[in-house]
Copies of this chain bind each other. A is one copy, B any other.
Amino acid sequence: MKVLITGGAGFLGQRLARDLLARGALRKTVGNGGAPEPITELVLLDTTPAQAPDDARVRVETGDVADRALLERLIDTDTAVVFHLAAILSAEAEAEFDLGLHINLDGTRALLEVCRARGHCPRLVFTSSVAVYGGDLPEEVQDDTALDPQSSYGVQKAMAELLIGDYSRRGFVDGRVLRLPTVAVRPGRPSGAASSFASGIVREALNGETAVCPVSGATAIWLLSPRKAVQCLVTASEIEGEALGTRRIVNLPGVSTTVDEMIEELSKFGGAKAVARVDWAPDEVIERIVSSWPARWNDARAKKLGFTGDASFHAIVKVYVEDELPWAEKKRA
């Protein structure tokens, strides 16, 4: 089978690509009794060339995800799974309204249209977000809590969810929408997400750099580690469509924490020295967007479907320190 990852140069796209190449196959029950089917081609599409290992299965493509002609070259009836991760993130979509609509809405629509035209109903795994929620929220968001997004990013993701739901209902694609908590702690550099600080206050502070925190310590966030996020993407691609039924959206597992609690964990791993590197610099726009997101949601359905999250924020930082810090230190050396 062929697999396409849009946003293939992005953080999650890169992680997912590595994971898929390592596992070499995906389960696709329909037709062959559940045995994993080898991945013969992995296309990484992004606006900049994705980094890729020297592997004959990998094909790196650059371009605009809203460009149908390009997508038509990349998707054929052997394309069994599309991971649609390409997005303009929350802070950037708020600042660049037209760009956000173009990538987050038109890009999704172009992808859906090309899949539809192929006629083979491929699996489409889409990453949605906490940002689709907002307004008056219950303490714990439920599967049937109404969406009331307070950012352009959240609106665009909610629209894309609806469109994927309809294309799935009509049998044009086999859509699976994952609502991701904030994915942290990420290695690398700050991103265009309003929640970028959630990685930064741990990553930069442990890395000997100043870590800017634009929100107050009381701010609650709902988190998932990068490792678990990738695992959930793979699970979403392998799950049976019947298990989802008509509801193609899954609110992924997360852990609820506050910025103060995150700082407490930071002190455990990096001491007072690390904590002192956090520069509290309130940013009204970021604060408004992030505080409109739910602090937790009910993830019972996700867990029942086989998606797993992290044990605690402590566990998330521990994995980050184990997996990423040696690498970061090596890079600095």
Chain A interface residues (CB < 8 Å from chain B): 97, 135-136, 143-150, 152, 155, 158-159, 162-163, 165-166, 169-170, 246-247
Contact = CB atoms under 8 A, between A and B. Distances in A.
A163 B170 contact: no
Contact of A155 (B97, B149, B166): B166
A166 B135 CA distance: 13
Given A97-B170, A162-B162, 6 more contacts: A146-B146, A148-B247, A149-B166, A155-B162, A159-B162, A159-B163
Contacts of A149: 162, 165-166
A174 to B, nearest CB: 17
A246 B135 contact: yes
Nearest to A152: B166
Among A136, A152, A155, A170, max chain B CB count under 10 A is at A155
Nearest to A97: B170
Contacts of A97: 170
Contacts of A143: 146
A144 B145 contact: yes
A146 B135 CA distance: 13
Given A162-B155, A163-B155, A169 B144 contact: no
